[in-house]
Amino acid sequence: MTSSPTPSSNPSTQPFPNGTGRYAPSPSGDLHLGNLRTAILAWAMARRGGKPFYLRVEDLDRVRPGAAERQIADLAALGLDWNASPGASSETVNGREAGVLYQSTRLAAYEQAVAQLREANLVYECFCTRREIQEASSAPQGAYPGTCRELTEAQREERRAQRPPALRLRAECTSYTVQDDFYGAYTGLVDDFVLVRNDGAYAYNLTSVVDDAFVGVEQIVRGDDLLPSAPRQSYLAQLLGLAQPRYAHVPLALNTEGKRLAKRDGAVTLPQLREAGVEIPTILGWIAASIPVYNADGSAHSADVPVPNAAAILERFDPARMATEPWVVRDL
């Protein structure tokens, strides 16, 4: 699973903060139970304070045709609602749902951000192959060793003839600290990470930062597999002069072997579960128990009790009492 540390229980001060939120799936396939739970939490964290909540489809990479539409339909079926995102079309066009921001429509904004960084001399071309990076052992685990950082213009000219470059950030620090509502202060690695891949695609760490700031996200709620990315992203936001969001990374769903829940674990997506005769209130009952939400008498919600819709979870949702351990999904 993840190398993240164990979250402490609510290190923030009361009342638990909330803010404009978002859910930003990659349309690589149907959402599974863990993704659906994260989406509900992201929605509930924003909505409990009456804040806007946006959907963003991260469709620059790994796109499976029809997946975004299915993901959006699943979220609506659970009872989630979202605001029309700044920058989104007000009509459904070419299969792109009205009100949802699609990253494939945002290329000019990413280009502008890269131009801003270039202007500040914070970008350089990198010609390394993945193998070369793996073989350079001097850098800390997972960090780019800086091989191409100080190439001369003549050297770059020569390398360009062999291979198109990726663009990397010329980072001026090696670690950065973010505030996470579940993990507290989290310090993680910042290296010269990729902004634009060598096939020309804008990298996730760039696009998510640009888009979160563009729509005014104040609190990023997502799976804690992405916690190690938060320092890079927050640092980049600072370099671009953008507002720093808070973070609230939530534990992942695991299978009974303790591995991250995956499609091969059985019926784990909404269409699969419905096909198997499991209705939405039953699924929401499991998710309510996993959070958990609490009943009026103070008892935790039982996984056997159906919940009609996401609004019923929101009514009883208290992030200060949320489980900080992964959700182990049993018996599918």
Could you tell me the smallest distance in angstroms from the CB atom of residue 149 to ligand GLU? Answer: 27
Nearest residue (CB) to ligand GLU, 227 versus 307:
227
Candidate segments 19-27, 91-99, 107-115, 279-287, binder of ligand GLU by CB under 6 A: 19-27
Nearest residue (CB) to ligand GLU, 24 versus 101:
24
Could you tell me the smallest distance in angstroms from the CB atom of residue 251 to ligand GLU? Answer: 15
Nearest residue (CB) to ligand GLU, 24 versus 254:
24
Candidate segments 23-31, 156-164, 190-198, 276-284, binder of ligand GLU by CB under 6 A: 23-31
Could you tell me the smallest distance in angstroms from the CB atom of residue 96 to ligand GLU? Answer: 16
110, HSE (Cβ side, Cα atoms, 13 Å): 22
| Number of residue whose CB is nearest ligand GLU | 222
Nearest residue (CB) to ligand GLU, 62 versus 160:
62
Could you tell me the smallest distance in angstroms from the CB atom of residue 260 to ligand GLU? Answer: 11
> Under rule CB under 6 A, which residues in 192-211 are in contact with ligand GLU?
208
Task: Count CB atoms within 10 A of the CB of residue 134.
Answer: 10
Nearest to 42, CA basis, from 226, 237, 255, 239: 226
Could you tell me the smallest distance in angstroms from the CB atom of residue 10 to ligand GLU? Answer: 21
Candidate segments 24-32, 74-82, 88-96, 166-174, binder of ligand GLU by CB under 6 A: 24-32
214 class by beta-carbon count within 10 Å (0-12 exposed, 13-18 middle, 19+ buried): middle
By CB under 6 A, is residue 41 in contact with ligand GLU?
no
By CB under 6 A, is residue 26 in contact with ligand GLU?
yes
Interacting residue with ligand GLU among 44, 53, 58, 102 (CB under 6 A): 58
By CB under 6 A, is residue 24 in contact with ligand GLU?
yes
> Under rule CB under 6 A, which residues in 219-238 are in contact with ligand GLU?
222, 226
Could you tell me the smallest distance in angstroms from the CB atom of residue 226 to ligand GLU? Answer: 6
Q: Residue numbers of the site for ligand GLU (CB under 6 A)?
A: 24-26, 58, 208, 222, 226
